Amino acid sequence: ESAPRHHDVPRLPPDTTRAEFNQAIGELKQILGDQNVELNDRPLVDGWYLEHPNTHDAFHIALQEDLVSSAVVYPGTVEEVQTIVRWANKHKIPVYPISMGRNIGYGGTAPRVPGSVVVDLGRRMNRILNIDAENASCLVEPGVSYFALYEEIQRQKLPLWIDTPDVGGGSVLGNAIDRGVGYTPYGDHFANHCGLEIVLPNGELLRTGMGALEGKDGADNPTWQSFQPAYGPYSDGIFSQSNFGIVVRMGMWLMPETGHQSYLITFPRDEDFPAIIEIIRPLAQQRVLGNIPQLRHVIQELATTAQPKSAFHSSSGPIPRETIRQHASSLPVGDVSWVFYGTQYGDAASISSQLNLIEKAFGVIPGAQLRLPSDLPPEHYLHSRVSVCSGVPVLRELDWLNWVPNAAHLFFSPIVPTRGRDAEAVHNIVVRLHAKYGFDLFPTLCVAGREMHYIVNIVYDRASVDEKRRAAALMREMIAETAAEGYGEYRTHVLFADMVAATYSWGDNALMRFNETIKDALDPNGILAPGRNGIWPKRFRGKGWEI
């Protein structure tokens, strides 16, 4: 039901004949070199995280062919990105920029409009342009992964941390402009970026922030990576989660290394969920909590053992609560319900006083128990949180993909006030709909002082048409039901972008009309990532593309 229309002629851009396409691709090869333009003319291969395809969505939800590119191009310089954009305007061919395409669960490298030409920035534009140890910042190209940045900082022996998301193979730049998050005190990636360089849809080049002011003798501005807004409207925001430009450089702040202590707190009873949220709120608002902690249901203690679901439950359908209970009791955390993962920062004395406060606050919940990594066996998931929460990238989170055969996953991620009653309202919807569609529920709440990202990981078998259909139907129903209660997603898979964007409809869709006005002004030919985040350029609008 989620299949985009208009893909009856596969692997060609919309409104383009094979002959026109061949002619245009020939031109592109001439400018960029044969080796930097690849046609998508072979069978699609899903690969895996570190060898992911840039031809389609490896975690397909509808058909594998649905979100497919016609070709991939690899620019090596900013000038080449400008050239590609001008070429796209000339031929009216949509291009879809990706940094590294490890945006798994949100669409990966897949263009929203089938037959778009994917601009894979990451392969050749992968330089760390600068690390400024005094300013504690860096300037990177789209192809710099968390692993690469981490390794370079280690090589230079700098006392700096990066902030990595759960899995470290993605692009530092791509993740920040898609407003991804991590788990050190610098975990809000977009809030910690500083300065962008952008190729606009007409091929012009723009620097934001202090970068708009030339440095001495034409050098980069010395405060480009120091002060975010500079003068006038703060424009960076409109280049995040949008299709208004191709970001080719980004500044990012780095955190000076410090002491850290990760821990978990277990809670025995399911029904204490709202009370736990009520305790987290003031602790987060007072900034006693050192990072964005996670609250997870105990079912994830099973999933993070890297064993398949079949090791715990042999019949089909979701694992019953009783079965989770039985297996949890033989795991290190025991027969509990909710598990809170946190990390405190600073010197030993301040960490110890923070931990006392935290333990006391949660202590009002009967049976709450705090454990340190030293209390748990070396293979326990908490040890990988120690890495992530101190800026060391890992791949451990990929263990999810052992849960079912041919596993793929999809995220449902509404923003919810940090309040017990709101948490319960969303949780009840999600529990009911997971049961209706027959999926195990894996909730991870990333909790801040005023809101939390309630993230549900839907793990499905991508070889099963029925499971994919149910996963998509579950997504759509969760989006609709939570929106009716006033909760909206912070990010979504490309296939659900229209639906999520449409929930932000206050004032007769004032926000989308504003976005469309910007889109049409910057991209009159509608060549840049049409449909991304639900923003369609005039050329595509109202012609049946929205799903």
Question: Which residues contact ligand ADP (rule: CB under 6 A)?
Answer: 97-103, 107, 121, 142, 170-171, 173-175, 177-178, 246-247, 529, 532
Residue whose CB is less far from ligand ADP, 265 or 497: 497
Task: Establish whether 341 is a catalytic residue.
Answer: no
Instruction: Give whole-number Cα distances, 391 to 185, 195, 291, 324, 367, in Å.
Output: 10, 22, 12, 32, 32
**Element (DSSP H or E) covering residue 207:** strand 205-207
196: helix, strand or coil: strand
Residue whose CB is less far from ligand ADP, 137 or 241: 241
Catalytic residue from among 106, 341, 345, 381: 106
Task: Establish whether 183 is a catalytic residue.
Answer: no
Q: What residue number has its CB nearest to ligand ADP?
A: 174
* CA atoms in the 13 A half-sphere facing the CB of 213: 14
CA distance 264 to 376: 10
Residue whose CB is less far from ligand ADP, 100 or 153: 100
Shortest CB 166 distance to ligand ADP, Å: 11
Residue whose CB is less far from ligand ADP, 142 or 414: 142
What six digits make up the tokens of 64?
A: 């594998």
Shortest CB 123 distance to ligand ADP, Å: 11
Residue whose CB is less far from ligand ADP, 299 or 392: 392
Shortest CB 426 distance to ligand ADP, Å: 25
Q: Are 201 and 218 in contact (CB under 8 A)?
A: no
Residue whose CB is less far from ligand ADP, 13 or 342: 13
* CA atoms in the 13 A half-sphere facing the CB of 380: 21
Name the nearest CA neighbour of 376 among 367, 363, 385: 385
What Rg do the C-alpha atoms of the chain give, in angstroms?
23
Shortest CB 53 distance to ligand ADP, Å: 12
CA distance 230 to 257: 28
Shortest CB 413 distance to ligand ADP, Å: 14
Shortest CB 312 distance to ligand ADP, Å: 30
138: helix, strand or coil: strand
Shortest CB 386 distance to ligand ADP, Å: 23
Catalytic residue from among 123, 470, 490, 504: 490
Burial 306-333 (b: 16+ CB within 10 A, else e): eeebeebbeeeebbeeebbeebbeebbb
Task: Establish whether 207 is a catalytic residue.
Answer: no
Residue whose CB is less far from ligand ADP, 199 or 499: 199
Catalytic residue from among 207, 491, 532, 539: 491
CA angle 14, 143, 136 (to 5 degrees): 135
Burial 157-191 (b: 16+ CB within 10 A, else e): ebebbbbbbbbbbbbbbbbbbbebbbbbbbbbbbe
Active-site residue list: 106, 490-491
